[in-house]
Amino acid sequence: MSRLVFTIGAVILGICLVQLANGFLGTLVSMETSAAGFSPAVMGIVLASYFGGYTIGAVSVGRLLMRVGHIRMFAALAGLVAASVIVQPILTSAPAWIFIRLATGFGCAGLFITAESWLNASSTAKNRGAVFALYMVATNACFGGGQFLLNLPAPMGFELFALAAALFCLALIPVSLTHASPPFLPPAPSFGLRELRRLAPVSIAGCAASGLASSAFYALVPAYGQAQGVEASWISAYIATAIFGGLAFQVPVGKLSDRFDRRVVVACVAAGLSVTALVLALLPQTMAILVATFVLGGFLSTIYPVAVAHANDRVDPQHAVSVSGLLILVNGIASFVSPMIGTGIMGRAGFTGVFVYMAIVGGLFALFALWRARTVEQPEHKERPFVFLSERMGHQSAHVADDAETVDMQEASFANDAGVAAPERETSS
């Protein structure tokens, strides 16, 4: 395991730096769009643009990655994001910010796909759960901690953008200087959305619900706080609370979904989201809001992974890569649309209306998942190492159920990188 950590350490360090920047950049942009005085419709488009670029990147970067390789792909995308971020305080018109956020989302999606496919292909079925646990804990801790960089002084207004660009540039150093050889990625068979909808409609609905609720919350809370004159330190603490709640809920919910019907588990999570959102809509401005927000963040972050796990229970192992790509696409489209819906609601009913909107999304999905659980037999849970799951996991990434040929190539690739012999595979009759 120590050799594996050394091999993948550069990748994890690089993404930790990316997440440190991402931790405050999205919140900063949301606050700046409010301060710029954009209309609600324009603000919604600007905030949604990141998710639009992310979706485009999630479905297109994989093919380019196979052509140019991991290190060059990571370097090119980190450079693209850094350049986009550094010009944002210079080009301040709404059309410029829409384009900049599209480019930022595209680049970030590619960075996560590149890193996570590298980790997936460099690990084996025996250690992949531990590898992704290490990766997700480290990167989510940086993502949550990055929120507090918003509290650094920025008297000229551009310093925080420059800091984010610098962190993306610094991420290039460990990945570019690593001694480990990037892994080989075998092509995976395709799988259509129509077939996935037939086999696992709860997974598609869950990924859509996750995108609708999560992007509305994370994109609009900072903008609303800025418009209400809330201090940046309070906004950063509020968002960080939700992020850390998401991290805390991953393991318990994941283990529950392994023991019970995943559709029932995800319905309970969605119902919890609905109730908590309504509580936040009614709570007065007290410290109890942080407790409820921690719980809300936990529910927001666990609908998607359970939905993905359910989809993988329904499909053949060789289609797992394509299924992950399709679900990222569904989640990305919902994430793109939701800030525009949310700004319209917020303009009419304030942020209370956004919480009600999130509650309706969670409630409708919970009812649908329970109806499917009641009318359709539960699929057999497929044995896989537990991993911390996230909507960032690209379609070349973590939910791959290993067929023999793919795992053999991955183990051989890791063995070459680490300088050890590939283990022999046991066969069963």
Summarize pLDDT for 184-236 with one digit per residue, the tens: 655 656 667 788 788 889 989 999 999 899 988 988 888 888 888 888 788 88
CA angle 396, 401, 405 (to 5 degrees): 85
Fold classification of 2-418 (topology level):
Growth Hormone; Chain: A; (1.20.1250)
Of 110-124, 257-271, 314-328, 364-378, least confident by mean pLDDT is 314-328
pLDDT of residue 318: 66
413-417 contacts at long range (C-beta below 8 A, 24 or more positions apart)? 413/121, 413/122, 413/181, 413/183, 413/184, 414/4, 414/7, 414/121, 414/122, 414/123, 414/124, 414/183, 416/181, 417/7, 417/122, 417/180, 417/181, 417/183
CA dihedral 291, 297, 300, 302 (to 10 degrees): -100
Mean per-residue pLDDT for 151-178?
85
Of 59-68, 106-115, 170-179, 201-210, least confident by mean pLDDT is 59-68
Q: What six digits make up the tokens of 84?
A: 């986009």
Summarize pLDDT for 91-127 with one digit per residue, the tens: 888 899 999 999 999 998 888 888 877 776 676 656 6
Confidence of residue 385 (pLDDT cuts 50, 70, 90): very low
In the chain, where the domains are located: 2-418
Closest CA to 257 of 186, 309, 191: 309
CA dihedral 67, 16, 277, 331 (to 10 degrees): 0
Distance CA 163, CA 86 (A): 9
Q: Which of 177-181, 325-329, 386-390 has the highest mean pLDDT?
A: 325-329
DSSP string over 40-78 = HHHHHHHHHHHHHHHHHHHHHHHHHHHHH-HHHHHHHHH
pLDDT of residue 127: 64
Q: Do 41 and 145 form a contact (C-beta atoms < 8 A)?
A: no
